[in-house]
Structure 1
Amino acid sequence: MAEAAKIELFVKASDDGESVGNCPFCQRLFMILWLKGVNFTLTTVDMKRAPEVLKDLAPGSQPPFLIYNGEVRTDTNKIEEFLEETLAPPQYPKLCCRYKESNTAGDDIFHKFSAYIKNPNPGLNDMLEKKFLKSLMKLDQYLLTPLPHELDQNPDSSQSTRHYLDGNALSLADLNCILYCLTKYLDKAYKEDVFHLTCPKDKEILLAYHSVAKYLNK
């Protein structure tokens, strides 16, 4: 049996520097490694203290970044691709989607949410809110629509019974949007250790958006 890889993931620390901070990109990689079932070390980086670890390991970069068998990787998208290719079946589960439509069902939610919550212009608020709600409705509709394999099992089905975007197991597509989505969807996600145990504390999320949210006077 091949020797296990030595993996260390660096993520942003919370405001108090003691736990995981609010960073969707950090949590996404945290969840990928968790779902792969691989042994890894998680290191939180306190960004307020100009940590030496950044200067020594990844100059010019910010978390998340990964050290895999001594090699530093700093591009989040490339890290994800690397992990999916390297930690592959049969030893590790495949996280990519069965259906290509699952990849795009909620892929714009974070962008629309950020534009809405950070908008400083009252004149654009209604438009941005509608765009954000439209993205949520698009996701909701996809979750309610039976997938092909569900219709194969029950051709008369009018509503999906699956838990997540691509089936009953979490996939890479789910990691894009379970941080921002719908009640029924999130209720299932919170029952998954991989989600609620990688989440920052509520106060970290509120603190992060309090600093960027724009309060509009109508």
Structure 2
Amino acid sequence: MGAQDKDKTDDVVRLFVKAGVDGERMGACPFCQRVYMVMMVKAQHGLLKFQVIACSPAKPPDELTKLGLKHLPAIVHLDEGFDAEDDIVQYIDDTFPGGGLVYDSPEAEIACKDFFSKFCFFIKAVNQDSSKLDHALEKLDAFLEAATPPCSPLASSPPPPKSPTTPSSPALTAKNLSSLSGSTASSFASPAPSFRSSVGSSNSPVPSSGPSSPLPAGKSVSRTPAAYLPTTSTNWPVVNTSSSKLFGGSTDSGAESLCSESNEVCAKIHVHKRTTRYGFIAAMTIPYVRLLLTVAETGIPDALFLLTVAVTTILNALFLLIVAITTISNALFLLTVAVTTIHNTRFLLTVAVTTIPNALFLLQWLTGPGLSHLDCVVLPKLQHLRVAAAALKAYQIPTRFRGLWRYLHNAYNNPVFAQTCPCDQEIVLHWHDRLETKVITFPWPGVRLI
């Protein structure tokens, strides 16, 4: 058991970093923080186990002295030790590969190349000219803005499909009207002329009101025309009513003969009147019967056509009703899709806010969605620039560098950077204690010199 415990202990990588003012917590060293962040990322992926030991560079522990290590940061693993920053990172990558820290972005390296050297020159100089530092930060900000496309959580709804259009009625088109028979189409298009043509035809017993009508001007059909009276001749006796004829000769014989002749004439007149009345009625009735028969024959095709139109109209109404029902169904479906999309959007937005707090961009870091070796180099130096320049030179990173501030904001919300970052007081003291640093504004709020 003792040998196994010793093997487990030897498998742990021991990291030696610069201690702070109190000798216990981690001090402000961007190079120590870089190695610390690399090992933290590896540990999050379960690739290694490590232990952090804070020590003073003036009094290194015996473990480092035995291995001949004089600088910090330094690591000791098994029987090997390294105190050069690049050698430490290379050894960790070779021994514990993985973690997603490897990158290939020459553009990012060029954008991050000059800002820290410009910062060191600015904080050691006496003048307040920060133009060169601003230029270097502007180059880094431009790269971050160009390489960080925004990711909006809200998506566009497909336009709803066009509602189906209603086709024109086949029974009401000019083409279908022209295909009908001449008499039927003309009677549907203009019922009054059809009726007039049927009444004014050559076969009709009733003469038309046009120029060919035999009726005299100013006479109506309702009156009895001379043409409809019977043409049979009646040889009625002409009674001479002169006094010489009536009273010539004997009075008695003349009276008797006159009475007999009068009775005979009255009987003939009565019979003739009855015959004339019936003939007149028949003569007036027959033309109207023929007219009604003609109208009935002409109206049957019109009735059939109107019936066809009515049936077609009903079918079109049913089609429009079906289209309306389909449109309503489609509208309800689209409404359901819209409501579902809204709920899904809210859910995705909630998941995004819960998973990535305060993140509005897919590309959070310099080379991708995850931390890389370049981020482990740049972020500690950028933090030193922000804190030390503000405390010692009253310099603030311009707010117009939105990509730069977003990059720092993402770092402050990342546990790898937050746990490995020293406090602001340690950073201020780190740069203040250097003899070449010319302090312009001091003390930093919350910092007390020892």
**Identical aligned pairs, as a percentage?**
31
- The secondary structure found in structure 2 opposite 1:101 is helix
Alignment RMSD: 2.6
Aligned residue in 1 for 2:428: 206
Distance 1:116 1:84 in 2: 34
Deviation at 1:183, TM superposition (A): 1.9
Q: Give ranges in structure 2 of 5+ residues lacking alignment.
A: 1-7, 150-360, 384-403, 442-450
TM-score using structure 2 length: 0.40
Distance 1:62 1:146 in 2: 36
Deviation at 1:94, TM superposition (A): 3.0
Say yes or no: does 1:131 pair with 2:132: yes
Say yes or no: does 1:141 pair with 2:151: no
Matching of residues 171-210 of structure 1 within 5 Å: 171-179=372-380, 180=382, 182-210=404-432
Q: Number of residue pairs matched?
A: 196
| Deviation by residue 1:104-126 (Cα, 9 ceiling, x = unmatched) | 32132222111111124x3xx52
Deviation at 1:32, TM superposition (A): 0.3
8 Å contact kept, 2:55–2:61:
no
Find 1:104's aligned residue among 106, 110, 125: 110
Distance 1:78 1:52, change over 3 A: closer
Matching of residues 63-74 of structure 1 within 5 Å: 63-74=72-83
Aligned residue in 1 for 2:343: none
Paired residue type of 2:96: L
Distance 1:100 1:57 in 2: 39
Aligned residue in 1 for 2:371: 170
Find 2:26's aligned residue among 20, 26, 42: 20
8 Å contact kept, 1:96–1:171:
yes
TM-score using structure 1 length: 0.80
- The secondary structure found in structure 2 opposite 1:8 is strand
- The secondary structure found in structure 2 opposite 1:47 is coil
8 Å contact kept, 1:73–1:79:
yes
- The secondary structure found in structure 2 opposite 1:143 is helix
Distance 1:72 1:60 in 2: 7
8 Å contact kept, 2:76–2:82:
yes
8 Å contact kept, 1:64–1:74:
yes
Distance 1:94 1:84, change over 3 A: farther
Aligned residue in 2 for 1:46: 56
Paired residue type of 1:66: I
Distance 1:98 1:72 in 2: 28
Distance 1:108 1:96, change over 3 A: farther
8 Å contact kept, 2:69–2:81:
no
Question: Larger Rg: 1 or 2?
Answer: 2
Distance 2:70 2:57 in 1: 11
Q: Give ranges in structure 1 of 5+ residues lacking alignment.
A: 151-159
- The secondary structure found in structure 2 opposite 1:17 is coil
